[in-house]
Structure 1
């Protein structure tokens, strides 16, 4: 796959993520409980072969286990490099493990991975350092969603801008290539003034990628105004695998049925008739 992308003149980055509490015992080795910073069950649903089910109650990771989680990221980074990827993106958003550690709503730990902002950001920074030992920081990005509760009904951090601005500043000091931010509520409106992410952009010394609900004109406005260096598109690619060309030509976009995006069969997801 990476060879095909390179042959077409493209670049491809692997996203590394650990779902943490957003899992189910049937997906875990020997039916074990999922792991999380604290034993707080997530809301929402996870997808199994038989359909959607609520997540299982997780167990809190022991302090002595965290080094193993960090090493998993290091090993995944090596495999991504061996597979020919051009870089990696560390997923610290959307209610998954690293975000579960970042937010004081889901992290009730009393060791040096819980409590203060510095402690709650520690795991993410240690993961980034492990990944950087394989790739170097200039081939690493990181994804954040400071204001979203959409996945797992994950409550916001009590001070989301302060928490994430601290992390953004530290990531800039490390020299990460980019910060990829879900602006606002995932699957919602990213233009609300309550979701101002200017502080993150100011704190991070690197490229800023905006994401969430952008269309062609808003993306042009965001980059021309200096709000963002780049804009990421996700869902639109499902119905428009040639999205980049359509955006260049300002061509109509196919409105794929969103009801089929997650957890359904091929119809409307990989099988559809685009305009």
Structure 2
């Protein structure tokens, strides 16, 4: 068995580079007001940045698994940041984007397939699961930095709103993914420390964890409590609810009844 990782297995995919380039262009259009439809520019920028964060989330899982002993992640294409190489591209990319469009919530996606039998040590297994949502935390810190550093002078309102909404998505993704629900990374963190009996009993429910979270969030009382907690965290990072609200309003530009926020 070879332990070498081919250079091509590590090369950044043109697909990811294209997504990053499109996101950069949309961000420039949002900043400068180049696009006639500011909402469309915000939509493309936030969606592109959200997909980039999903790719980095999955890459973090794969890279940590590689250094923990699973060299198979290279041959599977997980180190190229290509979203089309994920085990479930539908769960990893398409559904999270649909959830953002439908409800303005950053639901976590699935999944890179890690060959856990290659990895020794419970701490390593937990770390592999934890680094994904920690990537969302890092992304949220970057998005909120201009706010808590009081560095917004000269930043157009449309770009501020876009960053605020993107930060909301990252915070929701991190918080939800850290929940100890089967199928999510939070459960993956604690799973190595559970007894074999409990793991066997929980395993059949893993495919339904994400859907269960989505269903529970449709309950009005739960939804309100959840977003109250999210906005409390964002306020601690310098982002008031009006900013993220206006960001979502601009993002959903196709809704004629969306509240109008000043974007310049």
TM over 0.5: no
Higher helix share: 2
TM-score (norm 1): 0.30
Higher strand share: 1
TM-score (norm 2): 0.31
Q: Using CA pairs below 8 Å that are at least 6 residues apart, which structure has the higher relative contact order?
A: 2
